[in-house]
Amino acid sequence: MDACTFDALLHQIGDLSSGQCAGLLSKLTSRIAKATAADIIEAAAASRLRCPRCQGTQLYRHGEANGLQRFQCRACRRTFNSLTGTPLARLRLKEKWLEYGACLLDSDTVRNAAKQLGVNKNTTMRWRHRFLNSTKADRPRSLSGIAEADETFLLESKKGARDLDRPARKRGGHASKRGISDEQVCILVARDRNGSTFDFVTGCGPVTKAQLLEHLPPILAADTLLVTDANAAYRAFAKHAGVSHAFINLRSGIRVTQHPKGAIHVQNVNAYHSRFHTWLRCFNGVATRYLANYLGWRWAIDQQRIHSPATLLRAAIGVFHS
């Protein structure tokens, strides 16, 4: 809009009724919120901008679409924007994304967030997993010093699945078998004394030596002492992988023992489990297929990695601060 037309527009504002002013303000607020979200995304994606098809970095600017700059790859002519290939690609209503980020930070339910944003709850359900999908990729490099590892379990939930092979449970429900069975999903958490933490969904039933061999060696620095309970799977794993290992026999009532490297216990990792379970109660049952997303979200809260809607938006497209 040229300067003259803009001046004329500003003059006309004096003639608006209060209702029209409110309508205009709401339109402007929404417009600004959309531009702010787009600015955050484009600034975050700028350093890694490349063609999603051929990885080319020679790009032309190629107009704008949906509030975002569009680019064209010089080599293969593919057009794309800063969201192409991210979980937020083709998601609508950018003007509500930052407000939705604030709902996520408050751990709002799908229903409450939908009410606040004035959208359908199917939208906030879809957004939840799109926004959280990348969070689980934000992890420390490795654990060092003393690293505690322990499992915790959640009843398997096929919530939302269409091909249920058993009668549906009402709101979480109870397992039909006692103890740890294949109805329980195992979550392995490993945490060192600096608070660096990893989590893995290992599958249904008790954790096995093979699963420990798959998950733990890549995250344990060479001089790490692994501390666990007396579960035989850990002992077999440590022996096989040549990992220094100390265990505590909780069944005999011992909670802490001493070791040349420090106190041996699994209290930090168990406190992490406890915070996870308490927080998860906000959500009225979580589908197992999305469990990694919730673990990623809990991890981000616990490690204070995401503290504003803007950092959450950046994390949603896989850009994390170091």
Q: Which is nearer to Zn ion, 53 or 130 (CB)?
A: 53
Q: Is 51 in the site for Zn ion (CB under 5 A)?
A: yes
Q: What is the dihedral of CA 275, 277, 283, 288, to 10 degrees?
A: 130
- Tell which residue, 91, 90, 108, has the closest CA to residue 99: 108
130: contact with Zn ion by CB under 5 A: no
Indicate whether 56 belongs to the interface with Zn ion (CB under 5 A). yes
Per CB under 5 A, the segment of 23-31, 47-55, 108-116, 310-318 that binds Zn ion is: 47-55
CB of 246 to Zn ion, least distance (A): 53
**CB 213 within 8 Å of CB 237:** yes
| Cα–Cα dist 168/191, whole Å | 35
Q: Could you say which of 73, 143, 317, 319 contacts Zn ion (CB under 5 A)?
A: 73
Please say whether the beta carbons of 52 and 80 come within 8 A: yes
Q: Helix axis angle, 291-302 relative to 267-280, nearest 10°?
A: 120
User: Residue 35 is encoded by which pair of tokens?
Assistant: 């531009």
* Closer residue to Zn ion in complex, CB, 78/159: 78
In the chain, helix, strand, coil percent, each to 5? 45, 20, 35
Of 69-77, 101-109, 127-135, 136-144, which part binds Zn ion (CB under 5 A)? 69-77
Choose the stretch contacting Zn ion; rule: CB under 5 A; options: 73-81, 100-108, 264-272, 285-293: 73-81
Q: Tell me the per-residue interface mask from 186 to 225 with Zn ion, x by CB under 5 A, - otherwise.
A: ----------------------------------------
The residue range among 56-64, 80-88, 180-188, 243-251 that interacts with Zn ion, by the rule CB under 5 A, is 56-64
Q: Is residue 52 close enough to count as binding Zn ion by CB under 5 A? A: no
Q: How far, CA to CA in Å, does 60 sit from each of 40, 46, 72?
A: 21, 14, 5
Question: Which residues of the shown chain bind Zn ion in the complex (CB under 5 A)?
Answer: 51, 53-54, 56, 73, 75-76, 78
